[in-house]
């Protein structure tokens, strides 16, 4: 015979420590806020890049049975996590494509996590599902998609690209037997997550056609059309064109107006990866740089890039929501109570996820708290900072710049008076990293080692760009 009082009483007395009292909670929260404030206060003078010396081992230990005080854990966090590597919260982050980290998003995550609303299914949290739907609608309007469009808030651009490609595959009705003839068109500048998505979607064996690019690394639309026609004449089935609205490498925007009209004529699905560039639609200069995006069949944009959110926020938009649902919707007996009301789809119907974080709140809170105006100004500022940097570097002795930026990526390299150019540029990169205030990255364009800056952080202003210019001058002087 089990003594229920004793058995359950004992377990409960320990398990209740997972729900500490108000004083304890407030202590943890206020210490975490102090930590965050110290972190943010220190940003203007903090290094953007700290090489990991691999000396810290606090994270290697096993998880203990007994509690550890929060002060100790926050110290470990500061030293072992928020110390080494690239500081993505810093305005000095001009490498890869910078993320953001708006503080109200952290509040959104906090509130979403405490209430733990289940945003996957309308029935479970009509408010959360509606908020996410509203945000998707706002993005679809921004992109210029029609009323039938739908979408999903994802963990990032890679998963959003996967979702779009799966949707395109099912819309085209591609069966395994069709794959060897089902040609796909893209430029070599397409983000590698698209290749990954094709593979995960079982499309790795589709013949890939790399469309040549012009001198500004944009897809040559006329050649695209000729390639599609030639393939069709040879018995192939062209079905998908992947264009970029802001390539990661050089920020180039493919000629979407021409490409979209080719796709319409040739009955190909046009997917536009605008993970980096999409939110530039919020400012006038950005809209001028992105004509034709509204004609895409599917679009990816990353709020954790162009809306300055913390990592974990991507979005996929599909011109016809029904096709997104067709590729993702499943029914299960145990979900029978969760029928969609009045036909509106729940986030889980449009996604590979069922349980998911309530991503809407980290997006909704900053957008509403700030209003759109500062976002528009910040995005416009990034474009002008890139133009400013392009002009300034072009004037530095020995430097050569890449194309005038379509968006906010500038490529450049140093041509040393003598010696190996690649080595000289590697040395400059190293010097920038050693200085630590600014982080930039490098790439290879047309086979040549190239330095690049990507300006997208909401904390990046003229000061950071001028720091970098100073370092370039002092590294190449005399």
State the residues that interact with ligand PLP by CB under 6 A. Answer: 97, 156-158, 191, 193, 244, 248, 273, 275-276, 302, 314
Across 245-375, where does the E strand assignment appear? 269-273, 298-301, 314-318
Nearer to ligand PLP, 274 or 367 (CB): 274
| Position of minimal CB gap to ligand PLP | 157
**Strands 208-210 and 184-186, sheet pairing:** parallel
Pick 99 or 403: Cβ nearer ligand PLP: 99
Buried b (16+ CB within 10 A) or exposed e, 194-213: bbebbebbebeebebbebeb
What does 187-226 look like in DSSP terms, one character per residue?
-TTS-HHHHHHHHHTT-TTSPEEE--B-TTS-B-HHHHHH
Nearest-angstrom CA–CA distance, 468 and 446: 25
CB of 194 to ligand PLP, least distance (A): 7
To ligand PLP, the closest distance from the beta carbon of 27 in angstroms equals 35
Closest distance of CB 156 from ligand PLP, Å: 3
Residue 113 CA to residue 313 CA, distance in Å, equals 16
317 vs 424, which CB is nearer to ligand PLP? 317
Per DSSP bridges, beta strands 240-244 and 269-273 are: parallel
Could you tell me the two tokens for 441?
């990255």
CB of 249 to ligand PLP, least distance (A): 9
Nearer residue to ligand PLP within complex by CB, 242 or 471 = 242
Listed residue (240, 303, 231) closest to 272, CA to CA: 240
Instruction: Confirm if 256 and 295 have CB atoms less than 8 A apart.
Output: yes
Q: CA distances (Å), 300 to each of 10, 154, 270, 326, in order?
A: 52, 10, 12, 18
User: Least distance from C-beta 277 to ligand PLP, angstroms?
Assistant: 7
- From the CB of 405, what's the least distance to ligand PLP, in Å? 15
Q: Nearer Cβ to ligand PLP, position 85 or 371? A: 85
Our CB check for ligand PLP shows the closer of 302 and 435 to be 302
Q: Which is nearer to ligand PLP, 432 or 454 (CB)?
A: 454
Closer residue to ligand PLP, CB minimum distance, 155 or 261? 155
The H-or-E segment that residue 264 falls in is helix 256-265
Cβ count within 10 A of residue 406: 24
Least Cβ distance, residue 240 to ligand PLP (angstroms): 16
Q: What are the backbone dihedrals phi and psi of residue 296, each rounded to the nearest 5 degrees, phi first? A: -70, 155
Closest approach of ligand PLP to the CB of residue 135, in Å: 17
Q: Phi-psi bin for 405: left (phi > 0), alpha (psi -120 to 50), beta?
A: beta
């Amino acid at each position: 015979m089990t003594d229920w009082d004793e058995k359950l009483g004992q377990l409960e007395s320990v398990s209740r420590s997972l729900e500490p009292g108000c004083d304890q909670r407030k202590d943890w929260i206020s210490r975490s806020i102090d930590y965050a404030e110290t972190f943010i206060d220190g940003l203007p003078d903090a290094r953007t890049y700290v090489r990991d010396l691999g000396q810290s081992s606090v994270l290697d230990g096993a998880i203990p049975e007994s509690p550890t005080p929060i002060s100790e854990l926050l110290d470990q966090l500061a030293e072992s996590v928020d110390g080494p590597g690239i500081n993505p919260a810093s305005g000095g982050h001009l490498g890869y494509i910078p993320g953001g980290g708006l503080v109200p998003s952290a509040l959104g995550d906090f509130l979403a996590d405490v209430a733990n609303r289940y945003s996957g299914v309308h029935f479970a949290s009509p408010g959360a599902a509606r908020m996410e739907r509203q945000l998707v609608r706002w993005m679809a309007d921004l992109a210029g998609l029609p009323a039938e469009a739908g979408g999903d808030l994802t963990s990032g651009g890679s998963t959003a690209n996967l979702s779009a490609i799966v949707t395109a595959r099912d819309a085209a009705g591609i069966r395994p037997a069709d794959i060897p003839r089902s040609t796909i068109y893209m430029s070599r500048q397409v983000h590698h997550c698209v290749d990954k998505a094709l593979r995960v979607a079982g499309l790795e064996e589709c013949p890939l056609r790399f469309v040549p690019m012009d001198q500004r690394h944009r897809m040559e639309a006329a050649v695209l059309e000729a390639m599609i026609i030639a393939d069709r004449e040879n018995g192939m089935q062209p079905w998908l064109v992947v264009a970029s609205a802001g390539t990661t490498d050089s920020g180039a925007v493919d000629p979407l107006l021409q490409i979209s009209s080719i796709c319409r004529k040739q009955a190909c699905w046009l997917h536009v990866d605008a993970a980096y560039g999409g939110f530039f639609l919020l400012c006038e200069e950005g809209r001028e740089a992105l004509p034709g995006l509204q004609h895409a069949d599917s679009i990816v944009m990353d709020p954790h890039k162009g809306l300055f959110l913390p990592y974990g926020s991507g979005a996929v938009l599909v011109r016809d929501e029904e096709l997104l649902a067709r590729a993702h919707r499943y029914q299960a007996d145990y979900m029978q109570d969760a029928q969609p009301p009045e036909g509106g789809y729940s986030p889980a119907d449009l996604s590979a996820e069922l349980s998911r974080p309530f991503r809407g709140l980290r997006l909704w809170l900053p957008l509403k708290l700030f209003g759109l105006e500062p976002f528009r100004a910040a995005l416009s500022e990034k474009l002008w900072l890139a133009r400013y940097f392009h002009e300034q570097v072009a004037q530095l002795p020995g430097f050569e710049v890449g194309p005038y930026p379509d968006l906010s990526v500038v490529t450049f390299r140093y041509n040393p008076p003598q010696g190996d150019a690649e080595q000289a540029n590697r040395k400059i990169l190293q010097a920038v990293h050693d200085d630590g205030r600014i982080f930039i990255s490098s790439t290879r364009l047309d086979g040549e080692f190239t330095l690049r800056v990507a300006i997208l952080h909401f904390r990046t202003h003229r000061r950071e760009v001028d720091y970098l210019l100073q370092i370039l001058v002092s590294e190449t002087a005399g």
